[in-house]
Structure 1
């Protein structure tokens, strides 16, 4: 039977979705509330915060610094996802009631890399936000796991 605790990991994503949407919108509009959007004038190593890798490729404005910055952000997000997958992977259940078992866990572990894929499409500012968020979430989960360790089930003891 499905339990709410199985979906607990989705709550942070659902809560952050509006924030990412607002950040995304902030870097798409040149005018906000009748004023020039000064956020679009800021850059990281010469790459505007409002540009995305896909828009740079499509617009023909891709530079070596843009490839480097987007590459580093995307690779760091993927690295944090891999560390999260390895360190916080749930143990497979020996119970027959677990549909899919080990194969399901493998696919769920790959879902974390979706954030790295999303970073290619969103403005650099949103990609940086995603990087900070996944790193913060990993650190928080490791601290909480150390402070409140999971108890082994009766079958594992």
Structure 2
């Protein structure tokens, strides 16, 4: 548990420090703005992984005809298909998991944000961030905990607005999934998992999710159209 408390303590200092710095400009939304800036900083650090993922995805699209030919040729021999597919990826210096690197790499940061707004104390001191809100919704509570006041209570409406924004970003992202075959439908549904997740995590973690998904959508648009030259 101590090893988990260290990054939570660091995140607490970063978020409170950012909130203090942003307060003259953002007022009561300083903590929300600090979470957004914190998330953007994380994604900026992970940008090299995103570039690698975009290159890997483009390589996979280029190899798609060969992959489909292998699937047809070895449809009755799954082990042979896996070996041949691995050989093809190795030959091209690619990996089918490259596109997942940014998502996996930021999971620890999301978990830290979750822990930060679930902890009553940080480093032995009261967690003052739990008293901060976005409009009428406490940043340390989840949607399920505010439903007691009614589905359309002020706090619940904040969450419903968050869900709507997450769903819009998920819809945009799902329409740009380039996967083909049996996993294509799964890949298109995955972005909507953020809406479900946001219902059960503190509002602060939901804001992290919204910020990072918007970043991902913009990042993919830039990397796939401008930064990574077409093959």
- Which TM bucket (shorter chain)? 0.7 to 0.9
CA RMSD of aligned residues (A): 1.8
More helix by percentage? 2
Residue in 1 that maps onto 2:146 = 56
Is 1:78 paired with 2:157? no
Aligned partner of residue 89 in structure 1, secondary structure: coil
Describe the shift of the 1:74–1:5 C-alpha distance in structure 2 as closer, same or farther (beyond 3 A): farther
Question: Deviation per CA, 1:125-144, whole angstroms, max 9, x where unpaired?
Answer: 00000000000011011011
**Higher CA-based Rg:** 2
Residue in 1 that maps onto 2:189 = 110
Is 1:121 paired with 2:200? yes
Residue in 2 that maps onto 1:155 = none
| Aligned with residue 89 of structure 1, among 173, 177, 188 | 177
Whole-Å Cα distance in 2 between the matches of residues 104 and 65 of structure 1? 39
Residue in 1 that maps onto 2:122 = 32
Describe the shift of the 1:47–1:74 C-alpha distance in structure 2 as closer, same or farther (beyond 3 A): same
Runs of 4+ in 1 over 4 A off after TM superposition: none
Aligned partner of residue 29 in structure 1, secondary structure: coil
Whole-Å Cα distance in 2 between the matches of residues 21 and 146 of structure 1? 31
Is 1:7 paired with 2:86? no
Number of residue pairs aligned between Structure 1 and Structure 2? 139
Whole-Å Cα distance in 1 between the matches of residues 201 and 185 of structure 2? 27
Describe the shift of the 1:34–1:126 C-alpha distance in structure 2 as closer, same or farther (beyond 3 A): same
| Aligned with residue 23 of structure 1, among 113, 120, 124 | 113
Structure 2 unmatched ranges of 5 or more: 1-84
Provide TM-score, normalisation by structure 1.
Answer: 0.80
Structure 1 unmatched ranges of 5 or more: 93-100, 152-157
Question: Deviation per CA, 1:106-139, whole angstroms, max 9, x where unpaired?
Answer: 1221011111110011000000000000000110
